[in-house]
A and B are shown apart, each in its own frame.
Chain A
């Protein structure tokens, strides 16, 4: 999608998963997105989205497509990131049940499929001061956060579990805001993107 003048360009990791839903959600805010499947597509991104999908599939493709190092380096640059479900698993410091490697930039521990198999999937009420109420999240074979580090801010809870967290520029959810039009998490991310982008790093119309 072409970017309006002065608008930041947001990359959406498009190896597998519901990246098209993230693009549609961001388009509602007039945010231009670019699909990332190859290392050169990381250039000039103001922000990055790691979508839902299967984390094992994305991990293997990050390796086979030569994206692991460029993504890891980009994550170190302090630009905004939105990670949902599988995306959160990719960023977590520690992944359990089963153990799995990860990019490790978000100081949380997670259990994969921590709420059970697909039969346990559904919409659950969130408790949050950061989101306009009443907030809900769609959890699909969702990861469960079992530990949050001292620099991690919890923005929403499902009962006693943290399910929306922020550490610096990284916003991560166990649920799928992209499956609910108008979800406030997408708005929160767009705010983060627009606040962070100085005029000098605005992307040109085309890469």
Chain B
């Protein structure tokens, strides 16, 4: 085996140094996120839903007081979940339990870390707490996931310490169009860095408001330095397969499961779709007779102030 081959394979392994991350953060925080790949992370609001998610094959659950479709419907300020709900869900399942904090609300994040949630989602689905700063995620031992709409936003969150990235999509709509737009923007942004010279990378880093080392890493490796997941509007097995063929390594399904007619059946189908996302025969089989999906919303008709993806920067 040649030295060149060794170096290349080494870099492909993902254990390469990542600008801003300690080697231990790469192993423990990003390593945790690697274990979720090829899986489905499901929003749940109580222990019973969490058990259904685990029984269906979810790789993790996201504990919430309300799924995004209900947050949208009810309005008001959406905050981190009551610790009692998180503890009940932790007691009910053996898979990882994640929970959401408001953008910039590091005190809510401290509380979730004290509750030993396995990962924290700094989420635009909740009402933002800080209009200037996101949480400085390197300060936490818990891995964070953050939403993005394009490569610049993804890299800003990774610079702050996010150990996995997801598309924002438009949560609570059952409409995948925004998730597709965001994933295409991220993947296209990565491809657009290929072959740039140092001065061009520096210009791009200024535009993205991140260190040039991070941009250079992505230009060289042609992928994000952390796992790249998708969320926001995924409601069917085909939606999951679409996002994974576009580059997502795992999907988050929010309102799509427990707002549908037969949650267990739909959850199992989406889990199988995440494994066989390139196999149309299996996708056809799992898509049959799922009952009604969640009723969708046309994103183009949503007034700007109701678009959750606009939150964060």
Residues of A at under 8 Å CB distance from B? 14-21, 24-25, 27-30, 37, 52-54, 56-57, 60-61, 64-65, 85-86, 97-98, 112-113, 116-119, 121-123, 138, 140-141, 176, 178-182
- Which residues of chain B from 17 to 35 have a CB within 8 Å of any chain A CB? 24, 27-28, 31-32, 34-35
| Alpha-carbon gap, A86 to B36, bound state (A) | 12
B36 to chain A, nearest CB (A): 8
Determine whether the beta carbon of A118 is less than 8 Å from that of B58: no
Can you offer 8 A-B residue contacts whose CB atoms are under 8 A? A24-B13, A53-B38, A54-B95, A113-B94, A117-B117, A140-B28, A141-B32, A141-B118
Determine whether the beta carbon of A64 is less than 8 Å from that of B272: yes
**Interface membership of B243, Cβ < 8 A:** no
Determine whether the beta carbon of B14 is less than 8 Å from that of A24: yes
**Interface membership of B215, Cβ < 8 A:** no
| Alpha-carbon gap, A179 to B26, bound state (A) | 9
| Nearest 8 pairs of A and B residues by beta carbon | A118-B118, A60-B57, A16-B38, A24-B13, A28-B9, A18-B34, A54-B59, A138-B27
A194 to chain B, nearest CB (A): 14
Residue total for B at the interface (Cβ-Cβ under 8 A) = 45
| Alpha-carbon gap, A65 to B276, bound state (A) | 10
Across the interface, A64 reaches (CB within 8 A) one of B27, B37, B268, namely: B268
Determine whether the beta carbon of B10 is less than 8 Å from that of A181: yes
B43 to chain A, nearest CB (A): 17
Determine whether the beta carbon of A56 is less than 8 Å from that of B37: no
**Interface membership of B198, Cβ < 8 A:** no
Known A85-B35, A118-B117; 12 more pairs at CB < 8 Å: A16-B38, A16-B39, A17-B35, A28-B5, A29-B1, A37-B275, A54-B39, A56-B95, A57-B58, A119-B116, A140-B28, A179-B34
Across the interface, A18 reaches (CB within 8 A) one of B12, B37, B141, B268, namely: B37
Identify the closest chain A residue to B9 (Cβ). Answer: A28
Across the interface, A61 reaches (CB within 8 A) one of B9, B24, B54, B272, namely: B272
| Alpha-carbon gap, A18 to B15, bound state (A) | 12
Residues from chain B with Cβ under 8 Å of A140 in the complex: 28, 31-32, 35
Residues from chain B with Cβ under 8 Å of A138 in the complex: 27-28, 31
Identify the closest chain B residue to A139 (Cβ). Answer: B28
Across the interface, A179 reaches (CB within 8 A) one of B27, B37, B116, namely: B27
Residues of B at under 8 Å CB distance from A? 1, 5-6, 9-10, 12-15, 24, 27-28, 31-32, 34-39, 54-60, 94-96, 113, 116-119, 141-143, 268, 271-272, 274-276, 279
Residues from chain B with Cβ under 8 Å of A18 in the complex: 34-35, 37
Residues from chain B with Cβ under 8 Å of A97 in the complex: 94
Determine whether the beta carbon of B24 is less than 8 Å from that of A112: no
| Alpha-carbon gap, A97 to B9, bound state (A) | 37
| Alpha-carbon gap, A99 to B141, bound state (A) | 29
Residues from chain A with Cβ under 8 Å of B31 in the complex: 121, 138, 140, 176, 179
Q: Which of A25, A30, A119 has the most CB of B within 10 A?
A: A119
Residues from chain B with Cβ under 8 Å of A24 in the complex: 9, 12-14
B54 to chain A, nearest CB (A): 6
Identify the closest chain A residue to B14 (Cβ). Answer: A21
| Alpha-carbon gap, A122 to B32, bound state (A) | 10
Determine whether the beta carbon of A52 is less than 8 Å from that of B35: yes
The interface residues of chain A, by DSSP majority, are classed as: loop
Across the interface, A98 reaches (CB within 8 A) one of B9, B10, B94, B276, namely: B94
Residues from chain B with Cβ under 8 Å of A65 in the complex: 272, 275
| Alpha-carbon gap, A18 to B38, bound state (A) | 8
Known: A24-B9, A119-B116, A141-B96. A57 touches B59 (CB 8 A): yes
Determine whether the beta carbon of B38 is less than 8 Å from that of A17: yes
Residues from chain A with Cβ under 8 Å of B10 in the complex: 28, 181-182
Residues from chain A with Cβ under 8 Å of B275 in the complex: 14-16, 37, 61, 65
B257 to chain A, nearest CB (A): 15
Residues from chain A with Cβ under 8 Å of B96 in the complex: 54, 117-118, 141
Identify the closest chain B residue to A117 (Cβ). Answer: B116
Residues from chain A with Cβ under 8 Å of B119 in the complex: 118
| Alpha-carbon gap, A25 to B116, bound state (A) | 31
| Alpha-carbon gap, A136 to B31, bound state (A) | 15
Across the interface, B24 reaches (CB within 8 A) one of A16, A29, A117, A122, namely: A122
| Alpha-carbon gap, A123 to B24, bound state (A) | 7
Residues from chain B with Cβ under 8 Å of A64 in the complex: 57, 268, 272
| Alpha-carbon gap, A113 to B91, bound state (A) | 13
Across the interface, A180 reaches (CB within 8 A) one of B9, B27, B271, namely: B27
Identify the closest chain A residue to B275 (Cβ). Answer: A15
Across the interface, B59 reaches (CB within 8 A) one of A16, A118, A123, A181, namely: A16
Q: Which of A57, A64, A141 has the most CB of B within 10 A?
A: A57
Residues from chain B with Cβ under 8 Å of A16 in the complex: 37-39, 59, 274-275
